[in-house]
Structure 1
Amino acid sequence: MSKKSKVMSILMIILTLLLPPLAVALRFGIASSEFLINLLLTLLGWLPGVIHGFWIMSKRP
């Protein structure tokens, strides 16, 4: 893993903790079903959005 890749991974982890929908949108796009689900979960509560964000980020390459 390159140094740039490690830095980007760390930044995505921080972004997923702070703003889960933004992290998902950057990875999958704003029109994706993953983003819409994450946005809804985050609106219902921050923790469900974070859990879904980490789950979806680790699930798909």
Structure 2
Amino acid sequence: MSFWRVILSIICPPLAVLDKGCGSILIVFILWCLGWIPGVIAALIILNNPNR
């Protein structure tokens, strides 16, 4: 997980997970719409997961 990905996930979480697949983008986008903090947390978890 690079420094720029972390910054991007704080600013706009759906953009940080663009290369992780449609499901990840959709989950992060919905959580981001419900609140900024859940979207950021979900994006950081998805980016930190080495299996995806």
Superposition TM-score, scaled by structure 2 size: 0.86
Higher Rg: 1
How much has 1:48 moved relative to structure 2? 0.2
Moved over 3 A (4+): none
Amino acid across the alignment from 1:13: V
How much has 1:60 moved relative to structure 2? 3.0
Deviations 1:12-40 (A, max 9, x none): 11001100001111x324xx101100000
Amino acid across the alignment from 2:37: L
Aligned length: 51
Q: 2:4 aligns with which of 11, 14, 17?
A: 11
List gaps (5 residues or longer) in structure 2.
none
Separation in structure 2 between the aligned mates of residue 10 and residue 51 of structure 1, nearest angstrom: 16
Which structure carries more relative contact order (alpha carbon 8 Å, separation 6+)? 2
Superposition TM-score, scaled by structure 1 size: 0.75
Identity of aligned residues (%): 41
